[in-house]
Structure 1
Amino acid sequence: MSLRKGGDRLTRIPAYNLVDEPWIPCVLLADGQKVELGIHDVLCHAHKIREISDPSPLVTITLHRLLLAVLHRNFGPATPEDWSALWEHGSWDAIRLDAYLDQWHSRFDLFDERYPFYQTPEIEFCYETSVAEIVHGFTLGNYATLFDHHRASDPPQLSPAQAARYLVAFQSFAPGGLITYRSQHGEPANPFKYAKAGLLAKAAVSLLTGDNLFQTLMLNLLRYDREDGVPFEFMGEDLPAWERDAPTQAVDRRPNGYLDLLTWQSRRMRLHPEIDQTGRITVSHVVRMKGYQLPTHWYLANGETMVAFRRNRKPATGESPWPELAIYPERALWRDSASLFQAVEDQNRPPRISEWVAGLVDADCLDRSQHVNLDILGMSIDRANIFLWRHERLPLPLAYVQDRNLFDRLRQALDLTEQVGRLFSNGFDEIERQDGRAGTFKVPRPLRVYAAVLASPDDDQGANPDEMQAIIKSLAPGRVYWSRLEAPFKRFLEQLAGDRIENEYGEIEHGTVVLANWAETLRRTAWATFHETIDGADSSARGLKATARAERAFSSRLKQILEPFAREREEDRDEQTG
């Protein structure tokens, strides 16, 4: 119980302890009912819960990471054998969980005077602002419009459960940039005005999901060994945020270990609870200041396990040589699925959870034929402008993280899909010569052919490049093409894993049928997109002429791209009928 200033009197705020109080949004396994549960009930009954599901994917993923920190603290696991024993049991030791949550019970109180959960009690309420500033779905200051509008003068009233969820999410997904800071005691403002983004603000975060919450958390509970420095080298006593006695400071430091990383405090925050006239606890204001920042020589790729990274061979000063795979408004994440499953030479690093599960398959702790899901969650952000958040789910037969031949066939399919997709963009393609001479030559892409005719004053004069670009941009066929392929690709992902035969040499071959079928899906989708985009776009004589020329170019290039797979399809058909 704590005291808070309310009007002209001190108001006694009851404890709101996240171990016991309902605040984590869950979907029950038995009947699909949506309920909110406390940390204790979620962990002790995880095998009866289908999933954690919040409207905000940022909340969803950070709640999983919070629970993973509790589990790692209590169960390791130090070896694959330890992990397998936990998996086979089907639930965690409730006695051990009870003992731990009892020991640290007071540290999970959202409004505790000394150690409020995920907050810094030393900062004063005179620095408070609207609680909308920590809710990514609200518009405030520079934030782009997402779902709601709340002015600083009319802050929302959050319940303690809502405030707790947004508090946890904001620590990981805080936008970087200037923080409104007004000196109240004559202290210099400059050291506190700018803060880096939260650790996950620019990342597409991966989460392996199983049939229930127990399986989901176990699939992401990778090896944790303090003595061996796994999953990365420890630099001191590795503690989750609630076990740390020292308050969060506005300083640069690297994480002491994995628990520190999972519960990283990028901001010093303090919720300001009040009791309304009905006796209900609400939170309308929060203090939000700069917290721990990663030093310039330590990058997220050094320790993060749930994010994929791509090689940057020429990083600028202060940039990571391994930046995180990000979310872009115009690019569906399934197009980067190969980057999430396995490494490609020195080009990318998949999330370490993918590599961990591959090791479990190799150790026979999991069956390669087992199917799970891979969820990708995060937001698209530019500085302090949040464009959108996203939660995508891909089916993941575990063979993809362990079987290199299957993985290579997936990469081949994705490369083919990208080649066809480029037909709907501006520019040129380089084509190998067919006249026996070495080298390549450039041919304009079909939409460039179309735009060139429309933008030419007459056939004897060149088209205006800016006008051509404007025409192609107005048509935007790429969006149609990629959106139409999302559902078929997910089916293809599962079918490809099952399409395996043994050849005459005793080797396993993948995709002999399914890959040719995928090429046919691309052909049909591409033609449907082309006709939907071009037909009727301009019915003038010049427009019809442009359409005819573009169609010839499109037909020729599409045939060249898909011809090898069309031959495979015909050969397979002949074998079946022969």
Structure 2
Amino acid sequence: MAGGPHPQARGVARHAPVPGPRARLLSGSWGAAATIRWGQGGGEALPSSARSINAGHTAGSWGGSGITTHSFNLLDEPWLPVVRMDGSTATLGVVETLTQAHHLRALVGETSTVTSALHRLLLAFLSRALGTVDDLRWQELWSAEGEGFPASELEEYAGRWRHRFDLLSSEQPFFQRPELKEAQGTAALVAFRAAKNNATLFDHSRDGEPRPLRPDVAARWLVTVHAYDTAGTKTPVARGSKKSEAPPTTQFGCVLIEGATLFHTLLLNLLEYAPQRNAPTSTTEEDRPAWEAPIASETAPRRAYGWTDLLTWQSRRVRLTQADQDGEVMIQGAVVSPGTCCRSELLEAEHMAAFRAPWFDQPSDSSEVAQRKKTKTSSLRPVRLDALRGVWRHSQELLLPPAQRWFKPRGNKGLGLSMDGFPEISPARLRPSALERIARLTDTGALPSDAVYTLRIFGQEWATGGSGMIGAWHEEAVPAPAALLRAANPRIGRLIGNAVALADDLASVLRSLERRYRQETDESFTRKEESQKEREGFRYESELQFWPQLPGAFAELLRELAALEDGAGGSGGDPRGEIRALWKWRDRVVDGADKAADRWVRRQARTGHTLLRASAHRERYRAHRQLVVKSFEREVVGHTAPPEES
């Protein structure tokens, strides 16, 4: 569920290293140029990366002095890591990836953040290349999956902006600022490298150490650094500020709807793009991706012009330094400086996030209280990933239609359970925008109602103390049955809410078990210090045992509820079947909590008073657990009765 500061694979993502990129060598001068592609014409094998050779041309042989430059155009050169349908891996250029997407299983980067950033880049490219993809056009593309995305439209758009995709260009390098000074060392570009005072566990790079990168690797991290770089002090530009803000993408779990092929995945996440009609929300006619923007664009804080601007947001100013190494062109340096700060409201501009209202959100003044009573909602915040508890706990926000979120308004003092002190105003929710189209097309019959998609959520967690260091990378999956996406039955939300609340409540009981035991046995224990440790990320031993047991069982529950809802045509489900599914979930969660409590008791010191105290707290846990389970059962039975006809 959580990743560390090192690359990690998913599924059949990577089996063996893929070959390095080919390179283009441009030789010539004063307007005369020739392109030599290695391996063509001369019979020479393709090298593993770009080469720095003058191709044997002497001064004047091209009508000039024989100036040599290099090119690595991301539209053509292999740099996007893909998984084919047979599980083999390869790297492809942007155009080939999109035109062959229906023959590819997935796009998978070195880390979850790389995967997320690369998908966002491809979605921006598709949005501009295909133009407005309304529901009718979307259905045409979906029905023609054997043909993939229209190659003519992709190639026409690529031709217009080809000059902006050259990673090694001296005038308009891709996602870079050519006016920046050169630097030695690539640690600032690669997140798991140690750089300056940002030490990492498994890397011991030193400042100034070259650690050269192949152009394809550097390109992937270049895209990622704009989306997921840390905040804090960066290399200043001239007399500019050293301080930088965290990119907007770091503030939420990026949700990707995954299909059977990369073509399905990209199409499922493609929004209707019509800037002239402000679609999607907050998109203006000024919207453009980074490669269409002037190279010397402003860096003052501003709002995003629209969807593709946000997808390719230039949160940093970067310059890569290339050099010849043993006859190959490598990236041996990278300078990363503060870029443009985003002032857009995520709720309005970001469409790959889910939003929720926090349970306990104190209004700042009386006017805000009045406004919330009027709107019956509180401020929405993006759903983020949690290293321990899992993003499945936010299934209401991720899957269900926009509405006020269900909660339990009862009280039970002393245990810190979910029914303690809830606000009178029901919290709201908002799912990722692409799911609205899927639900709509499922309703019309364009998509099957029994389909089960996968929501893959990517995120980055800061280390304790702020956003200056990365604590972990996350990638989680939640099943997204179409029957739940289109469910008009409000009881579904209550049942899912009950299921999540049961797990939360039992986790609270486990925390109470350990906390009260420590309070009795540890003379240095104070509630204030304990609360501070919890805020800083301290996790109780029993919780660490409990939460990892639940994601699989919850995914099974979602599928069973979806099957019942689909069988009823979305009109009300099967109450008895829902009770059976919830009872199965109850048994799995209670069993997991009991095992976690038993393991904790067995690990305590088996001596005199200590053992007796642990056993007493174990019995208290059992009593509190029974209260939670009985409350859950009453709620489920109360919500599964068919609604009365009006």
> For the superposition of Structure 1 and Structure 2, which TM-score range results when normalised by the shorter chain?
0.7 to 0.9
Matched, 1:85 2:140: yes
Contact 1:20 1:38 in 2 (8 A): yes
Q: CA deviation at 1:533?
A: 0.8
Query: Following the alignment from structure 1 to structure 2, what is the Cα–Cα distance between the partners of residues 268 and 251?
Result: 12
For residue 302 of structure 1, what is the aligned residue in structure 2?
A: 348
For residue 97 of structure 1, what is the aligned residue in structure 2?
A: 154
CA distance 1:48–1:386, shift in 2 (3 Å): same
Contact 1:77 1:83 in 2 (8 A): no
Query: Following the alignment from structure 1 to structure 2, what is the Cα–Cα distance between the partners of residues 400 and 260?
Result: 32
For residue 198 of structure 2, what is the aligned residue in structure 1?
A: 143
- Secondary structure at 1:496 match in 2: helix
1:249-264 alignment, distance < 5 Å: 249-264=298-313
Matched, 1:484 2:484: no
- Secondary structure at 1:222 match in 2: coil
Matched, 1:287 2:335: yes
CA distance 1:399–1:536, shift in 2 (3 Å): same
1:331-356 per-position Cα deviation (integer Å, ceiling 9, x unaligned): 32222232222344253322222333
Contact 1:309 1:322 in 2 (8 A): yes
Query: Following the alignment from structure 1 to structure 2, what is the Cα–Cα distance between the partners of residues 383 and 416?
Result: 32
Contact 2:235 2:338 in 1 (8 A): no
The residue identity in structure 2 corresponding to 1:71 is L
Matched, 1:385 2:452: no
For residue 519 of structure 1, what is the aligned residue in structure 2?
A: 586
For residue 493 of structure 1, what is the aligned residue in structure 2?
A: 558
- Answer with 16-25 or 132-141: which moved more: 132-141
Matched, 1:538 2:596: no
CA distance 1:182–1:65, shift in 2 (3 Å): closer
Q: CA deviation at 1:372?
A: 0.9
CA distance 1:139–1:314, shift in 2 (3 Å): farther
Q: CA deviation at 1:222?
A: 1.4
1:25-54 per-position Cα deviation (integer Å, ceiling 9, x unaligned): 00001x100111111110001011000111
Q: Gaps spanning 5+ residues in structure 1: where?
A: 184-188, 427-445, 458-462, 571-578
Query: Following the alignment from structure 1 to structure 2, what is the Cα–Cα distance between the partners of residues 305 and 322?
Result: 14
Equivalent of 1:247 in 293, 296, 310: 296
Matched, 1:23 2:69: no
Matched, 1:161 2:216: yes
Matched, 1:423 2:509: yes
For residue 428 of structure 2, what is the aligned residue in structure 1?
A: 347
Query: Following the alignment from structure 1 to structure 2, what is the Cα–Cα distance between the partners of residues 286 and 470?
Result: 38
Contact 1:516 1:568 in 2 (8 A): no
Contact 1:206 1:377 in 2 (8 A): yes
TM-align CA RMSD: 3.2
Query: Following the alignment from structure 2 to structure 1, what is the Cα–Cα distance between the partners of residues 583 and 82?
Result: 41
Q: CA deviation at 1:315?
A: 8.0
Contact 2:511 2:540 in 1 (8 A): no
1:185-208 per-position Cα deviation (integer Å, ceiling 9, x unaligned): xxxx2x321121112123211100
Query: Following the alignment from structure 2 to structure 1, what is the Cα–Cα distance between the partners of residues 112 and 508?
Result: 30
Instruction: Report the identity percentage.
Output: 28
Query: Following the alignment from structure 2 to structure 1, what is the Cα–Cα distance between the partners of residues 92 and 533?
Result: 53
Q: CA deviation at 1:376?
A: 0.7
1:47-446 alignment, distance < 5 Å: 47-90=102-145, 91-125=148-182, 128-143=183-198, 145=200, 147-181=202-236, 183=238, 189=239, 191-277=240-326, 279-295=327-343, 298-311=344-357, 322-342=380-400, 343-345=402-404, 346-381=427-462, 382-403=466-487, 404-426=490-512, 446=513
Contact 1:24 1:38 in 2 (8 A): yes
Q: CA deviation at 1:567?
A: 8.2
Query: Following the alignment from structure 1 to structure 2, what is the Cα–Cα distance between the partners of residues 475 and 258?
Result: 41
Q: CA deviation at 1:245?
A: 2.8
For residue 434 of structure 1, what is the aligned residue in structure 2?
A: none
Q: CA deviation at 1:280?
A: 1.2
Contact 1:269 1:289 in 2 (8 A): yes
CA distance 1:165–1:492, shift in 2 (3 Å): same
- Answer with 116-125 or 165-174: which moved more: 116-125
1:261-315 per-position Cα deviation (integer Å, ceiling 9, x unaligned): 11111112111111112x11111211222222123xx322221111123347558
- Secondary structure at 1:218 match in 2: helix
The residue identity in structure 1 corresponding to 2:483 is A
- Answer with 19-28 or 475-484: which moved more: 475-484
Contact 1:18 1:39 in 2 (8 A): yes
TM-score between both structures, scaled by the size of structure 2: 0.75
- Secondary structure at 2:440 match in 1: helix
Contact 1:311 1:323 in 2 (8 A): yes
The residue identity in structure 2 corresponding to 1:64 is H
Q: CA deviation at 1:464?
A: 6.4
The residue identity in structure 1 corresponding to 2:163 is S
Contact 1:455 1:468 in 2 (8 A): no
Aligned length: 528
Query: Following the alignment from structure 1 to structure 2, what is the Cα–Cα distance between the partners of residues 562 and 270?
Result: 58
Q: CA deviation at 1:480?
A: 0.6
Query: Following the alignment from structure 1 to structure 2, what is the Cα–Cα distance between the partners of residues 316 and 82?
Result: 46
Contact 1:269 1:286 in 2 (8 A): yes
CA distance 1:567–1:307, shift in 2 (3 Å): closer
Query: Following the alignment from structure 2 to structure 1, what is the Cα–Cα distance between the partners of residues 484 and 108?
Result: 26
- Secondary structure at 2:179 match in 1: coil
Query: Following the alignment from structure 2 to structure 1, what is the Cα–Cα distance between the partners of residues 548 and 338?
Result: 39
The residue identity in structure 1 corresponding to 2:120 is R
Contact 1:26 1:50 in 2 (8 A): yes
- Secondary structure at 1:143 match in 2: coil
The residue identity in structure 2 corresponding to 1:180 is T
The residue identity in structure 1 corresponding to 2:557 is F
Query: Following the alignment from structure 1 to structure 2, what is the Cα–Cα distance between the partners of residues 282 and 84?
Result: 44
Contact 1:111 1:273 in 2 (8 A): yes
- Answer with 519-528 or 171-180: which moved more: 171-180
Query: Following the alignment from structure 2 to structure 1, what is the Cα–Cα distance between the partners of residues 567 and 311?
Result: 44
Q: Gaps spanning 5+ residues in structure 2: where?
A: 1-24, 28-51, 53-65, 366-377, 405-426, 638-646
Query: Following the alignment from structure 2 to structure 1, what is the Cα–Cα distance between the partners of residues 198 and 485?
Result: 38
- Secondary structure at 1:530 match in 2: helix
Query: Following the alignment from structure 2 to structure 1, what is the Cα–Cα distance between the partners of residues 439 and 348?
Result: 20
Contact 2:184 2:321 in 1 (8 A): no
The residue identity in structure 2 corresponding to 1:364 is G
Contact 1:516 1:565 in 2 (8 A): no
CA distance 1:481–1:339, shift in 2 (3 Å): same
CA distance 1:193–1:555, shift in 2 (3 Å): same
The residue identity in structure 1 corresponding to 2:558 is L
- Secondary structure at 2:91 match in 1: strand
For residue 432 of structure 1, what is the aligned residue in structure 2?
A: none
Contact 1:269 1:287 in 2 (8 A): yes
- Secondary structure at 1:149 match in 2: coil
1:81-124 per-position Cα deviation (integer Å, ceiling 9, x unaligned): 22111111111111111222122222211111222111122223
- Secondary structure at 2:387 match in 1: coil
CA distance 1:508–1:556, shift in 2 (3 Å): same
1:360-398 per-position Cα deviation (integer Å, ceiling 9, x unaligned): 323333223111111011210232111011111222212
CA distance 1:478–1:227, shift in 2 (3 Å): same
